[in-house]
Amino acid sequence: MSAAVYRATGVARGLETAGAWLLGALWILPLAYALWTAFHPGEFSTRFVLAAPLTLANFAKAWAAAPFARYFVNTVILCTMILAMQLLLCTLAAYAFARFEFPGRTIAFALVLVQLMVTPDVLIVENYRTMSALGLRDTIVAIGLPYVASAFGIFLLRQTFKTVPKELDEAARVEGCSPLQVLWKVYVPLARPVYLAYALVSVSYHWNNFLWPLIITNSVESRPLTVGLQVFSGTDQGIDWSIITAATLLTTAPLLIGFLLFQRQFVQSFMRAGIK
Amino acid sequence: MTRTAQWLYGWLLLLPAAALLALFTHYPAAATAWHSFFSTPKGTRPPAYVGIDNYAQLVDDPIFWQSLSNNLWYAAGTIPLSIALALLMAAWVNGKLVGRGLLRLAYFTPTVLPMIAVANIWLFFYTPEYGLVEKIGSALGFAAHNWLGSKNTALGCLMAVAVWKEAGFFMIFYLAALQQISPQLAEAAAIEGASRWYFFRRVTFPLLMPTTLFVLVNAVINAFRLVDHIVVMTRGGPDNATELLLYYIYEIGFRFWDTAYAAALTMVLLTVLALVALGQFWFLDRRVHYQ
């Protein structure tokens, strides 16, 4: 199944193609259904007739019914802030692990890897207490801070930095570069594809994150889109599915459009992030 | 560079990340253990040391046991199914099927959508009377059924959403691994007369073992970590049938504000995750082939 000689032929091939397409149709069905409902008037939300008129009214109603513009701004600030800080902190830490000998390095690395298992998502009760003590409750900073020192990012970049030939490093030092200059001029440029991969994974994770933001925010000023969507569809709206699906598509649109445009990069990034 | 300089640079570079990790991962894990032995502060009354009272409460709490058993069923149902589907998808997309670019897109799209948003769509699917599931059911002549409102089907409905959301994500890792397997292996096996299934079972699948382990660990963590859809679709109901451990912690900690009991519950979750980590090392030691 990995090479030409083991490819299905004849009837088997037809069956496999049919199976693959059936599964694909099933997988795209919820999104297709949401698109149908959102772009048609309410009375057509469960009636599938080709003559149904298209409309943008559901989107207009959803946009007017809740402060989605503010939620968009909050989410963009959140994702940008997290990513910028992650890139900085993870780069420095990964550089330390990859190229410096210091006492406690092994144990420190093991302590970093703990976060791969025990993600901030499960430590909600204590992190809420910490944020309250720091006076950060209901701020965008509080949503992002627990995720900034990302074990995944440190691990990924450390593996990448370790593949950089030591000779390049030494050559730069002979030229008189300080360790930070070496990092900036040698390591960071060579790791560019990994940075891109990590950025896409990080942005899609934090754009979609929900439980922790739900807990730590309670005002329009700090809520990200996911929480805003839940507040909107859970309480403000009765059960007007056309408007709820319009709001749902609205909140996911930037990510979805970005994904469709940069599909190849997205998929390759996730691949690269997984291989390590 | 001198040894001292190496030490100094190493620690200084590590410091910012280490400080934040300590504050938001190691400290809260330790604090959870500590607070689980105290009572919840109420008004002006400070927390008091209560020994193992919180754990005793936990042992006597039928909802806790149900959430744990629900979570185990949820894991047992979603993990094998999503991994098997992921492998199948990867094999298909890796082959020369018609329109494989579109298929890859279809399989992968759920991964980039927020769980909270897709839960809204699926909620609509499962709605009594109007929902698509109900429409298809009635068209095929099945009796009306409240899918999310019935104790017997609610957890299954949530599992379907989780499998749908995750299979495409895991597919990517299998796809990457499949692309790294040398085609010469298949040629050699074909010359030896190995059947297609035999080749998959004895060559491809063992070579994919590191990927399977990676995916498996991620799947297990997600089964205990991702409860967004429960907030939207069932809120743990009906009659606690969809209560998962983390959602129960959320309810106890942030709707009943019983932080001490929530700490004891979190310790159970941390224990589960620690067992996964230990299992991973044990498995790595004995079973996984590396190329």
**What distance in Å separates the CA atoms of residue A116 and residue A158, rounded to the nearest whole number?**
15
Asked if residues B230 and B161 have their Cβ atoms less than 8 Å apart, the reply is: no
- A90, A114, A123: best mutation site toward chain B, by most B Cβ within 10 Å? A123
| Chain B contact for A56 (CB, 8 A cutoff) | no
* ipTM value: 0.85
Would you say residue B208 lies in a domain? yes
Would you say residue B274 lies in a domain? yes
| C-beta pairs of B202-205 under 8 Å, 24+ apart in sequence | B204/A1, B204/A2, B204/B178
Residue of B nearest to A101 (CA): B6
Per-residue confidence (pLDDT) for residue A273, from 0 to 100: 66
Q: CB atoms < 10 A from the CB of A256, how many?
A: 16
The list of chain B residues with pLDDT below 70 reads 284-291
User: Residue A207 and residue B114: Cβ atoms within 8 Å?
Assistant: yes
Q: What is the pLDDT of residues A104-158, one digit of tens each?
A: 899 999 999 888 888 898 999 999 999 999 999 999 999 999 999 999 899 889 9
User: Residue B246 and residue A128: Cβ atoms within 8 Å?
Assistant: no
Asked if residues B235 and A234 have their Cβ atoms less than 8 Å apart, the reply is: no
Per-residue confidence (pLDDT) for residue B61, from 0 to 100: 92
User: Residue A117 and residue B250: Cβ atoms within 8 Å?
Assistant: no
Residue of B nearest to A126 (CA): B28
Q: CB atoms < 10 A from the CB of A253, how many?
A: 12
User: Residue A1 and residue B169: Cβ atoms within 8 Å?
Assistant: no
Among the partner-chain residues A27, A241, A275, the one whose CB lies closest to the CB of B176 is: A275
Per-residue confidence (pLDDT) for residue A144, from 0 to 100: 93
Per-residue confidence (pLDDT) for residue A63, from 0 to 100: 87
Q: Which residues of A touch B21 (CB under 8 A)?
A: 111-112, 115, 149, 151
Which burial class, exposed, middle or buried, applies to B15 when counting CB atoms under 10 A from its CB (0-12, 13-18, 19+)? middle
Phi-psi region of B101 (alpha: psi -120 to 50; beta: other; left: phi over 0): alpha
Q: Which residues of B touch A102 (CB under 8 A)?
A: 6-7, 9-11
Per-residue confidence (pLDDT) for residue B287, from 0 to 100: 57
Residue of A nearest to B217 (CA): A117
Q: Which residues of B touch A244 (CB under 8 A)?
A: 120, 124
B246: domain CATH number is 1.10.3720.10
* pTM strictly above 0.95: no
The list of chain A residues with pLDDT below 70 reads 1-5, 7-9, 45-47, 235-239, 270, 272-276
Residues 6+ apart with CB under 8 A from B154: B147, B148, B234, B237, B238, B241, B242
Asked if residues B236 and B243 have their Cβ atoms less than 8 Å apart, the reply is: yes
Asked if residues B168 and B107 have their Cβ atoms less than 8 Å apart, the reply is: yes
Q: Which residues of A touch B94 (CB under 8 A)?
A: 1-2
Asked if residues B171 and B179 have their Cβ atoms less than 8 Å apart, the reply is: no
Residue of B nearest to A204 (CA): B112
Would you say residue B140 lies in a domain? yes
Q: State how far residue B71 is from chain A, nearest Cα, in angstroms.
A: 14
What the block records as the tokens of A93 is 């830490």
| Chain A contact for B81 (CB, 8 A cutoff) | no
**What distance in Å separates the CA atoms of residue A68 and residue A221, rounded to the nearest whole number?**
11
Would you say residue B175 lies in a domain? yes
Q: State how far residue B171 is from chain A, nearest Cα, in angstroms.
A: 9
Q: Whole domain around residue B140: which residue ranges?
A: 57-284
Would you say residue B30 lies in a domain? no
Would you say residue B42 lies in a domain? no
Q: What is the pLDDT of residues B218-239, one digit of tens each?
A: 899 899 998 999 988 888 878 8
What the block records as the tokens of A151 is 């074990």
Q: What is the pLDDT of residues B147-206, one digit of tens each?
A: 888 888 889 999 999 999 999 888 888 888 888 888 888 888 888 878 888 888 888 888
* DSSP letter for each residue of B186-250: HHHHHHTT--HHHHIIIIIHHHTHHHHHHHHHHHHHHHHH--HHHHHHTTT-STTTT--HHHHHH
Q: Is B96 helix (H, G, I), strand (E, B) or coil?
A: coil
**What distance in Å separates the CA atoms of residue B266 and residue B29, rounded to the nearest whole number?**
9
Q: Is B62 helix (H, G, I), strand (E, B) or coil?
A: helix
- Domains of chain A in start order, with CATH, are 9-55 (no CATH), 68-275 (1.10.3720.10)
User: Residue B26 and residue A114: Cβ atoms within 8 Å?
Assistant: yes
User: Residue B10 and residue A100: Cβ atoms within 8 Å?
Assistant: yes
Among the partner-chain residues B107, B178, B266, the one whose CB lies closest to the CB of A24 is: B107
For chains A and B, what is the number of CB pairs under 8 angstroms? 299
Q: Which residues of B touch A118 (CB under 8 A)?
A: 25, 29, 270, 273
Would you say residue B37 lies in a domain? no
Asked if residues A143 and A227 have their Cβ atoms less than 8 Å apart, the reply is: no
Indicate the number of domains in chain B. 1
Asked if residues A119 and B275 have their Cβ atoms less than 8 Å apart, the reply is: no
Alpha-helix runs per DSSP H in chain B: 3-21, 27-35, 53-59, 62-94, 100-112, 115-126, 132-139, 154-179, 183-191, 196-199, 205-207, 209-225, 228-233, 245-254, 259-286
Would you say residue B23 lies in a domain? no
